[in-house]
Amino acid sequence: MKKSIWAEPRDTVSIEDCYFYHTMDIPNHGSVRGEWDLRGQETTYLGNVSFQGKRVLEIGTASGHLCFAMEKMGADVVVYDLSEEQEWDIVPYAGYDIEEYISEHKKYLRRLNNGFWFAHKAFNSSAKAVYGTVYEIPDSIGQFDICTFGSILLHLRDPFLALQRATAHVKEMVIVTDVVPKFRGKLLSVAELLTGSRLVRFIPDAKKRRPLETWWNLSPRLVLEFLQILGFEHTEISFYRQKHNNEKIRMYTIVGHRNKPDTR
């Protein structure tokens, strides 16, 4: 008998066993603090898209804040993320004890998944979860109207392949949010981002052996090209600032449509 792809909910998770990537206001518990505070900014972060009646595939839900927000907007959500059963795309620096780091990172992933399930229960969410690598999304997950990538591509060794594999399951729209890149220590202006070259910056530094989990700065022009190659020819882009820890980070969101959106 073929094993089900759907993750079993963790109904007995204790808050002490959780890590929250997002700051969230959890029913019957209160606020938990995370690295990103998307509260009140969810619509902007997701490209001002209507989710009413849409089936959504969210790549990299982490604590699930956007998952639960999209459900409130009327979406039927499936989240696809890593668990301790899979390995993150760690930069394999020579001479660095990667195995020890991976071992500790699996514990972090366990606590992150616990945070999702703790909040899932508190929000009375109907979202389903599938765990696996984004490069091997199972066919049995089905088809979706919309797919979201919320600040995920910079952490992937092969961002184009991830988009290709995920968008094979998407009928209408893909939403990609990422950090506006810095080149030579300066943020690109909006004009440069819209009219300049398709820039990419490789982040890992062999001498510093840092960072371990971030690979790229991807310019919006490059992501636009990725999406157009994959059949999402009609695109919209927005820029804004998002709260991350004690900073306001410059972000961009691209919405790619397979067919020209109806503007009536």
Please write down the HEC assignment for all residues of 109-133.
HHHHHHHHHHHHHHCCCCCEEEECC
Tell me the residue ranges of DSSP E strands in the chain.
24-26, 30-32, 36-37, 55-59, 76-81, 128-131, 144-150, 170-179, 182-183, 186-187, 200-202, 216-218, 234-244, 247-257
Per-residue pLDDT of the chain (264 residues; tens, 9 = 90+): 568 999 999 987 899 999 999 999 999 999 999 999 999 999 999 999 999 999 999 999 999 999 999 999 999 999 999 999 998 999 999 989 889 999 999 999 999 999 999 999 999 999 999 999 999 999 999 999 999 999 999 999 999 999 999 999 999 999 999 998 876 555 555 555 555 667 788 999 999 999 999 999 998 889 999 999 999 999 999 999 999 998 999 999 999 999 877 655
In a domain, 9, yes or no: no
Which pLDDT score is estimated for 2? Answer: 67
Query: How many CB atoms lie under 10 A from the CB of residue 128?
Result: 16
- Does residue 51 lie in a domain region? yes
Residue 3 maps to a domain = no
Query: What pLDDT is recorded for position 253?
Result: 97
What is the per-residue pLDDT for 198? Answer: 77
Q: How close are the terminal C-alpha atoms of the chain, in Å? A: 49
Query: Does 263 map to a domain?
Result: no
Q: Is 251 part of any domain?
A: yes
Q: Which residues face 182 on adjacent strands?
A: 187
Q: Identify the CATH number of the domain in which residue 135 sits.
A: 3.40.50.150
Residue 148 lies in a domain: yes
* One-character DSSP codes across 59-86: E--TT-HHHHHHHHTT-EEEEEE--TTS
Residue pair 136/85 in contact by the 8 Å Cβ criterion = no
The number of folded domains in the chain is: 1
Whether 192 maps to a domain, the answer reads yes
* 54: containing domain: 16-257
Residue 108 lies in a domain: yes
